[in-house]
Each structure stands twice: as C-alpha cells, then as structure tokens.
Amino acid sequence: MKKFTSLLLLCFVTLVYGQTPCENGMAGVYPCNGYDLLSEMTVSEFDSTNANDSWGWTDPDTGSEYALIGLYDGTAFVNIDDPVNPVYLGKLDTHTDSSLWRDIKTYGNYAFVVSEASGHGMQVFDLTRLRDVSNPPENFTEDAHYSGFGSAHNVVINEDSGYAYGVGTSTYNGGPHFVDISNPLNPTAAGGFATDSYSHDGQVVTYNGPDTDYTSREIYIGSNTSFVSIVDITDKSNPLSIATVTYSNTVYTHQGWFTQDHRYFILGDEIDEINLGFNTRSIVFDFQDLDNPELHFEYEGPTAATDHNGYVKDGIYYLANYTAGVRMIDISGIDNQDFQETGFFDVYPNGDNAGYNGAWNVYPYFESGTLLVTTLRYSDENFVPGMLLIRDSNLASSDINTIEVSMYPNPASETLTIEAPNQDVFNVSIFDMAGKELFQTEQTSALMTIDVSSFSRGVYFVTINDTQTKKLIIQ
C-alpha cells in the first residue's frame, strides 16, 4: 500500500487526471467519439513551455511501455504501464538551444532525437536506463551524439536495416542524410541523397509491396514540400531515384505513410486548409508500380482543421489533426476510394478552424491499445499543451486494470457502492485532491458500501487493490 500511495501522490503532484469515459460526446472538457481519456499531463509537469513530437518504446525484456515526449527544451520520458496513472521518469535536455521542432524515433533500446535548434545534431539515449529510476524525475544526459549534421527537421529510422535518416538538414540539399546506427553508441555517416533537394519528412521501409521489381529493397518516400520523392537507397553509396509524383492544389507537401501492404501512400499537405479553404485533406497515391505512381483519390474530413502527422495500423489511419484533435479513419475500403471516419478525440475544445494549435502527433503502436497524443501551443495563449493518453472505448476496462470494478452512484452524496465481482478480497482507499488518504478498508465480499455523507463537496480519488484509480465526485 505504501508504494502505491507514493505513486499516487506523485501523480497528484504532476497533475495527472484519472480516466474519463467518453459519454454523450464528451470526455470531461474534450469532445470525443468512441475514445476515452485515460490521463493527461501538461508541459509544466515536464518543466517546459511547449510540446511537439512523440514516439513510443516497449521494453522487449519487461513489456513495459514508455512515452517519449518532444519538448521545447528537451525530451521527456514517461512510464505508461498504468495509463491512468503515468509516471514521469525524467528529461533529457536539448543538446544546444530550445526549438519548437524536435523529433524522436527509436532503434532497438535506443532513442534518437533531432531538433531544428542550431548545431543540435542527433542525440542518442539508452532507453534501458528507464527500467530503474529510483528518484523520478531524473535529469538525464545523452549516451552518444552524432554531429554529422547540425539542425534537422526530423529523423527517420528503418529498424530492419539499422539506419537513421536525418531530413531537412543543411547537408545534401536538405535531402536524407544517411547514418549507420547498427552500433547505436557509435553512429557513423553513410552518405546521403541530394538530387530531390529538401525533404520535410519521410518514411523508409524494406519494401514488400506489389511491385516485385523492388521486393526487399530499402525504399525512401520523401515529402518534399511540393512533391513526393521515391528513392531506392539500398546501396548507400549509390542511391537511385525511382520517381517523383505531384498532385493538384499543392501548398506544402508535409508528411505521409504507407499502408501496411505498401500498396498505397497517404499524404497530408499541411497548409492547403489554411491557404485554399479545404476541409482536412488526405491525398492517397497508388504505388502499385513504384516507377509510375498515380493519384488514387482525395479524402476530405468533416472539419476545416489542419492536418499534421498520420500513421497506419490495422486498417486505421490515425491522424493528428491539430485543432480537431486525433481522427481515426477506417481505410479498409481504400481500394474503392472509400474512407470512413469512425472516431475522434478532440484535444482542442476551442474550435476546429485551420491552424497550428492542438494535436501535433499521435503514436498508435503500443500493444496495449493506449494511444499517445502530444499537443502544441502555437498562437492560442490560453491553450495548455502537453501529453494525453486515450483509448478506444470498446476496449474493456479490464485491459487497463487487473480487476473489473463498478462504482456507483457517481456523483454521490450519502453512500458509495463498489462492486468487484471477480475478486474474493479487495481493498479500497479514498484520497482527496492533495493526496491525503481519508478512508481505507479491506473486505472479502464482492460488494462494498461506504458512507461518504461526512465528505465535503468536491473531487476525490478512489483506488482499488492499489492498481485502479477512479475519480469520485461528492455533491
């Protein structure tokens, strides 16, 4: 109990908010459809002023899940094994100056961090150091550093090949800068590709799509501000341009992602909503023949919000959509030019107009189903950026916690009933907002009734078996 109480107090200190279901189109203050809020942390808890990119790491030895949060002045690391009660483990400061742009990717047990800050290069951090942080939050130092480029807009990694690719650097005309990271603590320059000039973002895959001419080749897809570049980078000493492809109403070719079968590529143009008045537009290319890519169709979402980063997992396109939050789009009908939005979680309740406040990134690849969202404050001084953890409402609460619990009524005024039908023994504690334990009991029956008539009106936290925390409102 003492250990959990300490964790709970830490969560209170860091202003972590407990699970909030999506009910009647809202999860607390956030508009939603089919996705619950598990927890939220603001940038002030990371001793920073803004957030940007994010990525995730799952410890291959323990199965623990970690959120890697890009900040204005560094990178934060958060254990999210219990996504309702995430634990801030510490921060890696920026290598040089602060910057609005910071990006993170992983290879094995290492994180690689770049920034548009001058002279930043690429930081390397050993993620296994997160396994045993005795006194969080810790001030971490980098384990290695690559100085072959200075600033970079993003870093792309192909874990199959063991190469990282800095994009938007001052080298190779801003095209991909190749770095051998097979020995992560000794990253080594391996050339680059300058022919197609500046890449704002990119994806690298070991190709296994329908074009058999390129099976098992390492293929780079660059989003190059005004077109998409397709390059065979298998031979780092001799990268070969395969094709470029454009589309109508181009403003700023920003970021894209392959479907899992490598047949289609879904692209976002970041500025077309602002300049041309589109609703959120996703441009879908057919890459069945890499030498002759074709426009397949364009999808417009239900809002005018600006799109940013999008990723594909299990037939769903997860789109960080700034003021419209995160949109979940079923792409199973992509062959028939049919996209269907099936859910969303709007992290910016102040409207869905085009602009850069709100969801910068979403990371959808945790096996637990937890979705990591990071948010940016750009022009709205009242918006508080940070990190949110959300989850599909259809996933049972038992997937998050080890026990199935019902708690009612909530709000309560006289009595509170807690039911744990699958437990022979369970304990319950109630804490106030300051983390002070007001009530604790243990019993062997599956049904517990607690007298709360003496509690003052306000918000409390109920913990069950030291593993699950629920918010309680006393009226």
Q: CA dist 138 to 53, 87, 95, 369, Å?
A: 21, 12, 17, 27
Look at 445 and 319; give whichever has higher pLDDT. 319
DSSP result, 373-435: EEEE-SS-TT---EEEEEEETTS-GGGTSSS--EEESSSBSSEEEEE-TT-SSEEEEEE-TT-
Q: Is residue 6 included in any domain, yes or no?
A: no
Asked, for residue 231, whether it belongs to a domain, the answer is: yes
Check whether residue 326 and residue 467 sit in a common domain.
Answer: no
Residues 230-249 have pLDDT tens digits of 999 999 999 999 999 999 99
Are 267 and 414 found together in one domain?
no
Residue 315 inside a domain? The answer is: yes
CATH number at residue 215: 2.130.10.10
- Domain encompassing residue 140: 17-398
Same domain for 414 and 371, yes or no, is no
pLDDT tens across 253-288, in order? 999 999 999 999 999 999 999 999 999 999 999 999
Averaged pLDDT, 102-112: 98
State the pLDDT at residue 469: 78
Domain boundary among the residues 346, 365, 398 is at 398
The answer to whether 303 and 279 have CB atoms below 8 angstroms apart is yes
pLDDT given for residue 173 in this prediction: 97
Instruction: Convert 239-260 to b/e letters by CB count within 10 Å (16 or more is b).
Output: beebebbebeeebebbbbbbbe
Q: What is the pLDDT of residues 409-457, one digit of tens each?
A: 988 899 999 887 777 667 888 987 656 788 998 877 788 899 999 998 8
Same domain (yes/no): 335, 461: no
Co-location of 359 and 382 in the same domain: yes
pLDDT at 53 over 70: yes
On whether residue 31 sits in a domain, the answer given is: yes
Domain end position, chosen among 398, 432, 462: 398
φ/ψ (deg, to 5) at 369: 90, -5
- Predicted pLDDT at 8: 40
Q: Answer yes or no: is pLDDT of 329 > 70.
A: yes
Portion of the chain with pLDDT greater than 70, in percent: 93
Same domain, 215 and 284: yes
Give yes or no: residues 352 and 459 share one domain: no
Residue of 466, 343, 429, 432 whose CA lies nearest to 393 = 343
List Cα–Cα distances, 455 to 13, 410, 416, in angstroms: 22, 14, 11
Same domain, 301 and 408: no
71 and 212, same domain (yes or no): yes
Assign residue 421 the CATH number of its domain: 2.60.40.3080
Q: What pLDDT band is residue 14 in, cutting at 50, 70 and 90?
A: very low
- Do both 170 and 145 map to the same domain? yes
Q: What is the mean pLDDT of residues 191-204?
A: 98
Residue type, 267: L
Nearest to 384 by CA among 88, 117, 40, 39: 40
**Residues 306, 454 within the same domain:** no
Residue 1: per-residue pLDDT: 37
Domain-located, residue 225:
yes
pLDDT of 105 strictly over 80:
yes
Q: Which helix (H) or strand (E) holds 9?
A: helix 2-13
Reported pTM: 0.82
pLDDT value of residue 5: 38
Please check whether residues 264 and 410 belong to one and the same domain. no
- pLDDT confidence bin for 309, thresholds 50/70/90: very high
Distance CA 57, CA 78 (A): 10
The predicted structure's pLDDT at residue 12:
38
**pLDDT-based confidence at 470, cuts 50/70/90?**
confident
**Better pLDDT: 56 or 445:** 56
At residue 267, the pLDDT reads 98
| Cα angle 408-413-418, degrees, rounded to a multiple of 5 | 25
CB 307 within 8 A of CB 341: no
The residue ranking higher by pLDDT, 473 or 373, is: 373
Average of per-residue pLDDT values in the chain: 92
Among 398, 426, 441, residue at a domain's last position = 398
Residue 51 CA to residue 70 CA, distance in Å, equals: 6
